[in-house]
Structure 1
Amino acid sequence: MARRKKGRDLSGWLIVDKPAGLTSATIVNKARWLLDAKKAGHAGTLDPSATGLLVVAFGEATKVLPYVTDALKEYEFTIRWGAATTTDDADGEVTATAPARPDRAAIESALPAFRGDILQVPPAFSAVKVDGERAYALARDGETPELAARPLHVAELELLDCPDADTARLRMICGKGGYVRAIARDLGQVLGCLGHVLTLRRTWSGPFTLARGPVLRWSDDLTREDLEPMLLALEAGLADLPQCRCDPAAAGRLANGNDAAVLSTDADNGEEAWASVAGRPVALGVYKFGMFSPSRVFNLGA
């Protein structure tokens, strides 16, 4: 018989402004411990040196994580020109240097090649698996992992500022699986000056943003009393999905994984959506020809 997980049946979201120096997993585990939650997860890892938006899900909200993880995300970052590093950021060892420095016009002219649907080779120090092992583990052992280029959608990439000859500030909106460090590396190579990420901050991801709503500034001395008022309802993570409104009689059918009639909806035929009864989320699934077909059911209790 499987051992039951200890903790509270807590469901919802915690939006954290992650400081530099902590891993995403450290924050998730500490938040779960503080709130005594049975289950927790996060949408999109931030490197330890990166700061900004970390979306933490608890309980039934973890079922929505794939939608948040797959959504577009915005990053603001600074590239330092003149050096390549092992990690493609300032934490790595310098592997090569170059005297050239690009001007604003050169940077602007290079950016269009990195917009739209591109192919990107992940950094050697990344969580991508190579023959069953993480690339970063191979790189730490002194190996050079051979990583295949992966498709990435870059919706926006713009130059914000050139504070000095050695640095440039940029903003990028991209889809799932994008590495800002790889953008810095590849831009440096194209411009003939080499480059790596100096600072990196995620500002929004899917329906969550640092600019709106309760955002928890993480620190080591937080308590449960600090976290609980910051929790958002499960519905907050569904804001980018269309809603299918069903009558109370449909609740039982949906809870058992069966299709149910839809009273009204914002979804197009065949589109992924979420079903609600009296405004309460019941399931995730697909809307087809007036019916909702559930794929994941929310167990929120009475």
Structure 2
Amino acid sequence: MARKRKGRDISGWLIVDKPAGLTSTAVVNKVRWALDAKKAGHAGTLDPEATGVLAVALGEATKTVPYITDALKAYRFTVRFGQATNTDDAEGEVIATSEARPSDDEIKEALHGFVGEIMQVPPQFSAVKIDGERAYKRARDGEEMEIEARPLWVEELLLTDRPDADTAVLEMTCGKGGYVRSIARDLGKVLGCHGHVVTLRRLWSGPFEAEQGITLDQIDALARTPELDAHLLPLEVGLADLPELKCTAQGAARLRNGNPGMVVPGDVDYGDEAWASFEGKPLAVGRFKAGELHPSRVFNLAD
């Protein structure tokens, strides 16, 4: 018999401004402890040395994680020219050097090739699976792997600052599955000078912005208090990109049991994905068909 997980049935989102030096999993564990939450997860891993938005979902909000993971995200990062590393960031070993340094105009011109639908090879030190094993585990053993390129949508990639000849600050808006380290590596290759990431910050992810984020010091100070609970955002914030439909009382009863339920028609077409609410509470996500929402996820929120 499975052991029942301890903690509160608490649901919502806590937006953390992640510091450098911690894994995303460590941050989630800290949040779960501080809120005494039974269940928690995050929407989009950040590298240990990266900072910025880490959206932590609690309880029933974990069912909305895919909608944040799939949403556009924005990053600010600094590229160091003249050096390639085995990890494509400053934590790795330098494996190649160059005396060449690009001009601002050369960087801006090269960035055009990284916008739109591009193909990107993840770093050797990444969480992608190769024959069932994480790439970074094999890379730590000194193995060099052929990692298949995968598509990435890049909405925008801009040069925003040039502190010196060795470094450039870029801002990128992209879709799911992007590796900023790969952008820095490949940009260095195109410019003929090598490159790697030295700083990385996620500015926003879907509806969540870094300015909303609470720090780990604040989380420690407010742990297990109502003041920390007050920082929680409601579950439905994670559904900001989907239209909302209001349920009838009968429809709400059916949706709670996982059955199609009647909704008040709204700005959706047949087959569109939407979420349904009743008396201000989110009930389910699903597809709108013939006046009903056919649920794919049902929320079991405590009264």
**What is the TM-score of this pair, normalised by structure 1?**
0.96
CA distance in 1, matches of 2:290, 2:207: 27
Matched, 1:289 2:290: yes
Match of 1:2 in 2: 2
Q: Does the aligned pair in 1 maintain the 2:9–2:302 contact within 8 Å?
A: no
Match of 2:250 in 1: 249
- Bigger shift: 173-182 or 223-232? 223-232
Q: Secondary structure at the match of 1:185?
A: helix
Q: Does the aligned pair in 2 maintain the 1:80–1:195 contact within 8 Å?
A: yes
- Matched to 1:109, the amino acid is E
- Bigger shift: 231-240 or 41-50? 231-240
Deviations 1:245-295 (A, max 9, x none): 111121111011111222132333322111111221000111123221100
Q: Does the aligned pair in 1 maintain the 2:74–2:203 contact within 8 Å?
A: yes
- Matched to 1:294, the amino acid is P
Match of 1:175 in 2: 175
CA distance in 1, matches of 2:128, 2:166: 30
Report the number of matched residues.
Answer: 300
Match of 2:278 in 1: 277
- Matched to 2:285, the amino acid is L
Q: Does the aligned pair in 1 maintain the 2:250–2:262 contact within 8 Å?
A: no
Q: Does the aligned pair in 2 maintain the 1:11–1:233 contact within 8 Å?
A: yes
Match of 2:12 in 1: 12
Match of 2:232 in 1: 231
- Structure 1 runs of 4+ with >3 Å offset: none
Q: Secondary structure at the match of 2:230?
A: helix
Aligned pairs for 1:1-302 within 5 A: 1-211=1-211, 214-219=212-217, 221-222=220-221, 223-225=223-225, 227-302=228-303
Q: Secondary structure at the match of 1:264?
A: coil
Deviations 1:76-127 (A, max 9, x none): 1010000000110011110000000000110011111111001000000000
> CA RMSD of the aligned region, Å?
1.2
CA distance in 2, matches of 1:54, 1:158: 23
Deviations 1:44-84 (A, max 9, x none): 01001000000000000000001111111000101000000
CA distance in 2, matches of 1:44, 1:13: 14
- Bigger shift: 259-268 or 130-139? 259-268
- Matched to 2:165, the amino acid is A
CA distance in 2, matches of 1:297, 1:221: 32
- Bigger shift: 239-248 or 218-227? 218-227
Deviations 1:16-52 (A, max 9, x none): 0001011110010011012111100000010010000
CA distance in 2, matches of 1:267, 1:123: 40
Q: Secondary structure at the match of 1:265?
A: coil
Q: Secondary structure at the match of 1:224?
A: coil
CA distance in 1, matches of 2:241, 2:124: 33
Displacement of 1:140 after TM fit?
0.3
Deviations 1:126-156 (A, max 9, x none): 0000001000000000001210000110011
Q: Secondary structure at the match of 2:187?
A: helix
